[in-house]
Amino acid sequence: MQVIRTRRDIRNWRSEVSGWVGLVPTMGALHAGHMSLVDVAGQENDHICVSIFVNPRQFGSKSDFATYPRTTDEDLSMLQDAGVDAVFMPDAGEMYAGSARTSIHVADLTDRLEGASRPGHFDGVCLVVSKLFNLVQPDHAYFGWKDAQQVRVIQQMVDDLDMPVQIRPMPTVRDDDGLALSSRNCGLTISGRESARHIPAALELVEQAVRNGEFSVDLIRRRAIEHLSGAEDLEVDYVQIVDLESLQPLDRIDRPALVLIAAICDDIRLIDNLLVSSV
């Protein structure tokens, strides 16, 4: 496995390999969710490249960036064991040398949900992801569905800019208690984790309600919020039910829809979602 730290070297690596390349962009602190992406990338491509870069441009507060978990040695050993060919691990000076002035803004999809609470976040994501696509030139790129809005925004950017890469969203991986895996979960206290479990449980209630023929968004949202309010120390940011394509709020679940929850627990932002459809 090659560990590559410069843009020049990753370009050289790309020009030397032939066949399909799968890219798994990450910010490190890898867990089983990331490794499931690596696994599928290995099945679908001739070469796997994983990037590890905690991207300062997508963080609102400096302290969130500074405290983001970093576990480089463990990450590299997991990737080595998984048969990854190249790990691209630039530092911020290398990635943004010459202070990038370009921004990529995907209109409409980015001003709501996570974008409302984290202004500029998706511009930062789009900038770094498009730089990674330009440098690695992958045939396929793998993203976790836990960040459903991110997947939707990146897909839109790729379509709008005719980027020659296929986006492959992969299912959320969960712990035994249902909590969606996230690099941030390691910061939860025992009682915080108890509270956080209300998030997947609320989504399960929603799934059950839709299965039982309940399509009123108002009613379903109220049920989910009521369940979440039973959790101590869980500050709900939003529970939204939106159209899968436009991310616009719905009144009724009469088409493929996303149920999205964001909440703060132990100062950690947790997000999760569920795909539902009335048909």
Number of residues counted as binding ligand PAF (CB under 6 A): 10
When asked if residue 128 is in the footprint of ligand PAF (CB under 6 A), the reply is yes
Q: Which residues pair with 51 in a beta bridge?
A: 25, 88
Nearer to ligand PAF, 149 or 195 (CB): 149
Written as six digits, the tokens of 70 are: 């970093």
Q: Are 277 and 211 in contact (CB under 8 A)?
A: no
Q: Are 132 and 50 in contact (CB under 8 A)?
A: no
For the question of residue 227 being annotated catalytic, the response is no
Q: Which residues pair with 274 in a beta bridge?
A: 259
Nearer to ligand PAF, 132 or 228 (CB): 132
Q: Which residues pair with 180 in a beta bridge?
A: 174
* CB of 163 vs ligand PAF, minimal distance in Å: 14
Written as six digits, the tokens of 208 are: 């059950």
List C-alpha distances in Å: 226 to 117, 199, 214, 235.
22, 11, 16, 12
When asked if residue 55 is in the footprint of ligand PAF (CB under 6 A), the reply is yes
Q: Are 198 and 224 in contact (CB under 8 A)?
A: no
When asked if residue 163 is in the footprint of ligand PAF (CB under 6 A), the reply is no
Which of 31, 34, 140, 227 is labelled catalytic?
34
User: Which of positions 7-26 make contact with ligand PAF (CB under 6 A)?
Assistant: 25-26
CA 91 to chain centre: 21
When asked if residue 110 is in the footprint of ligand PAF (CB under 6 A), the reply is no
Nearer to ligand PAF, 94 or 251 (CB): 94
When asked if residue 192 is in the footprint of ligand PAF (CB under 6 A), the reply is no
Binding ligand PAF by CB under 6 A: which of 37, 86, 106, 129? 129
Q: Which residues pair with 252 in a beta bridge?
A: 216
Stretch that binds ligand PAF, among 36-44, 104-112, 122-130, 201-209 (CB under 6 A): 122-130
> Catalytic site residues?
34
> Contact positions toward ligand PAF, by CB under 6 A?
25-27, 55, 58, 125, 128-129, 147, 150
